[in-house]
Chains A and B, each alone.
Chain A
């Protein structure tokens, strides 16, 4: 018998453990990508089923209903309305939380009304006893016209039974649960007579939603059957009431809750975590813990990676036959790769903390705690999530603004999020702090370097808040402010979910940034190894003539030749051209090149310096840090990386919008080039001015 492939879609409200079910089914057989043309994350996975079946499992974005209010939710509707989509599900699994069954069933009834074969997955079944819940599965299956899988994705229970059930997809009933036309029979009758072949609920969704479906007919449907916004909403309310009536009837027969059994852990924890004093204290303590630990805990593995790659370069240079190719490998590629891999420990820690905060349900409490304060600055409580996850990367953070209902609050959040200290700044900060801030402890416990890093994070947040305040005063946009946030139950974060998340995100970072860094390293190596004209090609003769009288040793002469060469290479010429602009900030032309190349992505800065310093250098064993430490300004004899230039660089990277991807995502999310350009000019202009002032004052 041949293997049969089927499409399975996972659909559900946020916070029902949909992703854990997905992880249980697919393990590490996952692919994370984007839907074409938009930046909504698309998670696919594969799973072997019994009886020679194989499933492509699609984890759709969490949604409360098919009435989309964001791009993520539109993805769900567009897929479910388009039978020709190659991902169109053979069977839909609607995942629900046993404690929120009533609300979760709303979406279930909508999916059923699309007449897709549907299985109801009731998750978190292990909590039933504790919460005093009993279910009459047979009754529920009969009333809802479906098959039910009772699972606990946390404990891995019921997953095999679910797989067995998926295989029987052809026998599932496609009968709808409710009849949408009841809400306005007259109107739907006309609709039906005009489009006799179409499902009424589909037509209804096309009328009420902003989705691309039946592109040709859509205008026709809309023009003939349009209603005022207010009218449509009234009908949607009626629809929602109808659905709840149906759900209540079903649950009256199939669900029993013994409230006396339920132990309420949630309200006790809520009282502490949203307390007017302890709530904030705990929040700031958590932030502090995150930043101290990122610096302290990752130091060891980072040093290890750094020295390993320096050793590797030396070995490659020694063992491989000497020539251009070996130079490229030992001076271009190996330092380039090292420059990427060194960030893994810090990025993994950061994603670890963020995913624990989100998994546990704590993030919603922070939203609740911060909303009133954030609103003073034109932001929403929901802006806290982008601002915190912005510490990992501004790209997903800007995407996370989608659930902010108010456009002005959302726009301001998008514009200021790049100020938060993203993980790409971390390597830049780490190396400069290590060079210019002494490794001392103050008050016995606080590490001065860690403290500096913490200050830089606070500076990022501070600037984000301050600029929101200014933008809030300047921008004249009015709109309805809606704010609805679910407060999910507290959950112990699942190791498997957190681990998969950390691995996936880190992998995406290494591959995504890695490609750019590697390409740039190779280009830089070429530009640094070759040059035009006499000054480069005859470097040896020129240097020998110049120092003829001084009787230099072999080694000194070699170093002079190397620096003559790099100064006259292509990159040296470019660097010296921009030197007048960056000199007032305390940078030499090599740093200038690093700044320009790191416009692609900030983390390229370290890799660029590593490549520039490696080319022509005689000492392959030194780490990047050592090489930077030894750089001396040939004119003044001062170290290049001193306190003044170091602080100036830190401030420059704290404020400048050195990230091409951020510009691209801002353009996508705001649908105009206006906002990314404003973002770039304001941020980088501000960065230049503060870096200039800092250097001139400290110098």
Chain B
């Protein structure tokens, strides 16, 4: 298990205060953060830009040293026993970095495999298996500079798996990828956790990706943990507003009055707009679901329903809400 306990990271930043004057200031990127990564589980680390997600991943993967607190991987300290920890973890980042463009896909994997102490037939078999797994067998001997963005990203995944890590950190892995490739990648990530038992930590700006993949989500804001739960529980726990859209062919004064009364009774508010095709769109927004009373009301007024659509709060709303609340 990977255990992060009360980790804090402070950067010293040089600021220009005059022509030749500089001042050192301290910026706390991560503050008192604790979490665990367990085999077979995918956890999401969310927050708006500058929340400390990438710093956290870099600390877990030994690239950065925490200012205080501890990170242990299977009982080994990430700072003191970094060589051991490095052999158990790996990281895949979005974008097109972390690969040698002049080398072929196979040569990249051979090089990185050697850096992890792999060699001979064992390494050859592992490379073939990974190339097959990420669908790059046909392009294995083509230089990476001729790869498409999606192919480079798939090779990155193979590189991230070359040492068969127990703990995998995915930092915006689908950044800039086309929808079908991103979907394929998500499927692959899911299999890595469910079939190979890898513990995965994911950061992504695509919230639906996190909702789809993660068993648990940690939301951090300005380096501090503000919430931790399953994606479903997080969206329910905050009682955020549900939005109800209904389109009706006509709007009488009495119906308008009753809709206002309904919204007030449920602690919400209503908005009515006339659409281009001479119908009326009623939007009811409130913390409680008003679908059933609305349908009863429309039935009582003999008003047909042309369209009905409910919009539940998303994980994105939760993050924005928490960021606003903390910032206020």
Check if A and B associate.
no
